[in-house]
Amino acid sequence: MLKKNLKVLTAIFLIALITFASITLLAKVGRALKLDLTEDRIYSLSDETRKIIGGLNHPVRLKLFFSRTEALKGFDSLRAYNNYFFYIRDLVREYASRSQGKISLEIIDPRRDSREEREALQYGLRPIPTAGDDRFFFGLVLTTEFGQEKAITLLSPERQQLAEYDITEMIHSATSRTKKKIGILAPANLAASTYPAETARSMGLVIDAGRKGRSILEQLKAHYDVTTLLPDGASFQKLDAVVVIHPRNLSEQTLAALDRYVVGGGKLAVFQDPAFMADPLVGAAGSAYAPGQSASNLNRLLAAWGCEMPENLLAADPGLAVQAPAAQGAAAARPATLITLKGNAIPREGGLNAGVTRVRVFNAGTLKLKAVPGITADALLRTSETGCAVRADNLRQRASEGKEVVYLGVRLTGTFPSALAGDLAQDAPKAGPEPATKPAAGKASAVVVVFSDVDMLTGPLAASESATELAGGNADLVLSTMEGLTGSVSLASIKARGRIIRPFTAVDRMEESYDQSAAPTVAALQSEIAAGERELNSLAMKTQEGEESLLKEEILRSRKLAETKVSRAREELAAIQHNKRVMVESLFTKGKAFILLAGPLAVLLIPALMLTSRLFRRIELPKGKPWKRGI
């Protein structure tokens, strides 16, 4: 008996040992055997990223900072970062596993007053204040053995679709030895550009030392070898791309050089504007809608290539115009030409604008297109169907009847003829040596990108619209455009990634149905609140006019009644919103209960069915007498 028990125990021990060893072995081997079953393959690296990782010549170290403790005990908004952390962690692990040992990963929890927290601050990571004196960090730092340091200061779930792009771009910019050369011809100094106080208030901009933002041109220097060109017609032939910003009063020499560059197959980006309100040459005395003082265009060349911008027309779109907060009233209405382009206003056919989600423009012009043999035009930015062209000197006066789609950005590709009449392009003096042989006109394929706004490049418009929102819309557009022009590492191809957060269609339908049923009540409460606030404003005016001494008790009584009505209406409005949240949370609670109980119940159901089947087999049914049919 003892030997039998010993054999049983030995067998159990060996089975447990074999099981543990198998699990450990499979866990290690399984890390190299990965299968991404997500619809958009969000956990797989793109071919361009693998190419960059495979070309690494020296080790790279990634440090992922994540305040796990603060995320768990902090606000609900911080707890949402947990799922995104797991996604980023798995993504950077994929980078490390594909690098053949060239990329190492370290995950750090920077707790309060620790060495890790001081290290995160030294790298420039942006903390989010939490309850008490704690701070939440979630950023990625790259270091190399040559002293290169790059950092993503805050990994936000809003940029999940751009996560691989941001990480790959950081690795590429830190390890690449050669950068594409870009020449920038900018008569206006964007670093010194500032909006007049009245214009800034109407746009809702908070321009101070903390929120002024960086010009997009400064961000370009991190990706390209940027050269500032003098407006003297210097040769552009050795540049990968030329960017012309606010082309005003360019000399014939410069125009001829640009014409030769494009005809020879060059890549050109033009940012022109009928009313650049942050023009430093105009100064604070500039009028908000005086295009003559701050206008610029390159129509002298572009008109011959099929794109022209009228000098006195601006683009407007009521459907995409930036709305002022309701609390500020009608007096603070935004200009109709301050537009946030998004959705269908940013075409993505054929890989255009990959990763660009929104673009803000102000006083943008209207681009008129015409067919030119050998040149193809593609829209990059446009208004919605509610767009229209308005006069620059009177925004309420439309330039045409009805609504139309207005183009704000186009890409011209093909073989370009010389835009200068006669022999001007040949007779213009040259500031530098030209190549001995130049491609003949119409033989080399060139690309010209035209935007009808310069304000989009300034810090205030390129910065975030709120303190909690990440910047990058306008910068993404410019970077995507330059990648397409220079033919550099095609990071734009990896921008459009799938989202890890899927829409809850059932919840959306429930909320929509609830909102429709509660709409009359909400409208009545909002009307009551508005009426109460008007009454309070009226009583305040009486107080200022000195009537309080005559009707002091009556005014105080009326004010108290009005405040009570407003408070009660707001409480009822809050109760309606609370009931909607309770309804949605109950659905999630039921779903969680089903998920938690379904698995164990299924496991218990299988042995229960087997036991029931066995019991039925053991039961012997009584045998009855054989039935015989009567005669």
pLDDT at residue 411 tops 90: yes
State in Å, rounded, how far the first CA of the chain is from the last one: 67
* Residue carrying the six token digits 């459009």: 496
Q: What CATH number does residue 134 fall under?
A: 3.40.30.10
The verdict on 101 and 192 lying in the same domain is no
Distance CA 361, CA 383 (A): 11
Q: How confident is the model over 216-225, as a mean pLDDT?
A: 78
What percent of the chain is predicted at pLDDT more than 90? 23
Helix axes 163-175, 81-98, angle to 10 degrees: 40
What is the 3-state secondary structure of 71-107? HHHCCHHHHCHHHHHHHHHHHHHHHHHHCCCCEEEEE
pLDDT at residue 430 tops 60: no
The first and second tokens of residue 355, run together, are 């990763």
H-helix segments, 473-504: 473-486
Domain assignment present for residue 153? The answer is: yes
The first and second tokens of residue 454, run together, are 């310069």
Of the listed ranges 143-157, 265-279, 465-479, 563-577, the least confidently predicted one is 465-479
The verdict on 80 and 219 lying in the same domain is no
Q: How confident is the model over 167-177, as a mean pLDDT?
A: 85
Q: Residue 41 has what pLDDT? A: 64
Domains of the chain: total: 3
Q: Read off the pLDDT band of 273 (50, 70, 90).
A: very high
Q: Which helix (H) or strand (E) is 385 found in, with range?
A: none
- Mean of the per-residue pLDDT values of the chain: 77
pLDDT at residue 128 tops 70: yes
The first and second tokens of residue 603, run together, are 């496991």
Q: What CATH number does residue 312 fall under?
A: 3.40.50
Q: Residue 187 has what pLDDT? A: 79
Contact predicate 473/356, CB 8 Å: yes
Q: How confident is the model over 71-92, as a mean pLDDT?
A: 81
pLDDT at residue 331 tops 50: no
Q: Residue 418 has what pLDDT? A: 92
DSSP readout, 601-622? HHHHHHHHHHHHHHHHHHPPPP
The verdict on 87 and 188 lying in the same domain is no
The verdict on 393 and 311 lying in the same domain is yes
The first and second tokens of residue 300, run together, are 């002298």
Distance CA 19, CA 262 (A): 69
Domain assignment present for residue 238? The answer is: yes
Q: How confident is the model over 425-445, as a mean pLDDT?
A: 46
Q: Read off the pLDDT band of 624 (50, 70, 90).
A: low
Domain assignment present for residue 582? The answer is: yes
pLDDT at residue 48 tops 50: yes
pLDDT at residue 354 tops 60: yes
Q: Read off the pLDDT band of 326 (50, 70, 90).
A: very low
Nearest to 338 by CA among 399, 404, 285, 288: 288
Strand ranges inside 163-318, DSSP E: 181-185, 225-228, 241-245, 267-271, 307-308, 313-316
The verdict on 279 and 415 lying in the same domain is yes
Domain assignment present for residue 491? The answer is: no
What percent of the chain is predicted at pLDDT more than 70? 73
C-alpha dist (Å) from residue 327 to 201, 318, 434, 527, 530:
15, 20, 61, 14, 11
The first and second tokens of residue 281, run together, are 């040459």
Q: Residue 342 has what pLDDT? A: 87
Of the residues 125, 156, 175, which one is the last residue of a structural domain?
175
Domain assignment present for residue 66? The answer is: yes
Most confident range, picked from 26-40, 154-168, 498-512: 154-168
Domain assignment present for residue 4? The answer is: no
Q: Residue 118 has what pLDDT? A: 92
Q: Read off the pLDDT band of 328 (50, 70, 90).
A: very low
Contact predicate 456/388, CB 8 Å: no
pLDDT at residue 491 tops 70: no
pLDDT at residue 423 tops 70: no
Fill in the amino acid letter for 405: V
The verdict on 338 and 315 lying in the same domain is yes
Residues 6+ apart with CB under 8 A from 615: none
Q: Read off the pLDDT band of 137 (50, 70, 90).
A: very high
Domain containing residue 598: 505-545+556-604
Q: How confident is the model over 56-80, as a mean pLDDT?
A: 83
Most confident range, picked from 390-394, 424-428, 546-550: 390-394
Of the residues 175, 201, 233, which one is the last residue of a structural domain?
175
The verdict on 152 and 233 lying in the same domain is no
pLDDT at residue 535 tops 60: yes
Q: Residue 352 has what pLDDT? A: 78
Distance CA 411, CA 417 (A): 16
More confident residue, 509 or 206: 509
Write down the pTM of the prediction.
Answer: 0.63
Contact predicate 210/230, CB 8 Å: no
pLDDT at residue 618 tops 50: yes
Domain assignment present for residue 112? The answer is: yes
The verdict on 237 and 108 lying in the same domain is no
Contact predicate 87/500, CB 8 Å: yes
Distance CA 45, CA 41 (A): 8
The verdict on 171 and 223 lying in the same domain is no
Task: Label residue 209 exposed, middle or buried (CB < 10 Å: 0-12, 13-18, 19+).
Answer: exposed
The first and second tokens of residue 284, run together, are 């604070």
Contact predicate 193/362, CB 8 Å: no
The verdict on 225 and 342 lying in the same domain is yes
Q: Residue 224 has what pLDDT? A: 86
The first and second tokens of residue 529, run together, are 């609140």
Q: Residue 262 has what pLDDT? A: 92
The verdict on 306 and 241 lying in the same domain is yes
Distance CA 631, CA 627 (A): 13
Q: Give the distance from CA 480 to its chain's centroid.
A: 13
Q: Give the distance from CA 357 to its chain's centroid.
A: 5
* Residue carrying the six token digits 């946030």: 340
Helix (H, G, I), strand (E, B) or coil at 56: coil
Q: Read off the pLDDT band of 330 (50, 70, 90).
A: very low
Q: Residue 472 has what pLDDT? A: 46
Contact predicate 596/588, CB 8 Å: no
Of the residues 131, 153, 175, which one is the last residue of a structural domain?
175
The verdict on 118 and 245 lying in the same domain is no
Contact predicate 325/301, CB 8 Å: no
Most confident range, picked from 311-325, 405-419, 577-591: 405-419
Half-sphere exposure for 446 (CA within 13 Å, toward CB): 28
Helix axes 47-54, 81-98, angle to 10 degrees: 50
Domain assignment present for residue 526? The answer is: yes
Residues 6+ apart with CB under 8 A from 405: 382, 383, 384, 385, 387
pLDDT at residue 409 tops 90: yes
Q: How confident is the model over 348-356, as a mean pLDDT?
A: 75
Helix (H, G, I), strand (E, B) or coil at 25: helix
Q: Residue 629 has what pLDDT? A: 59
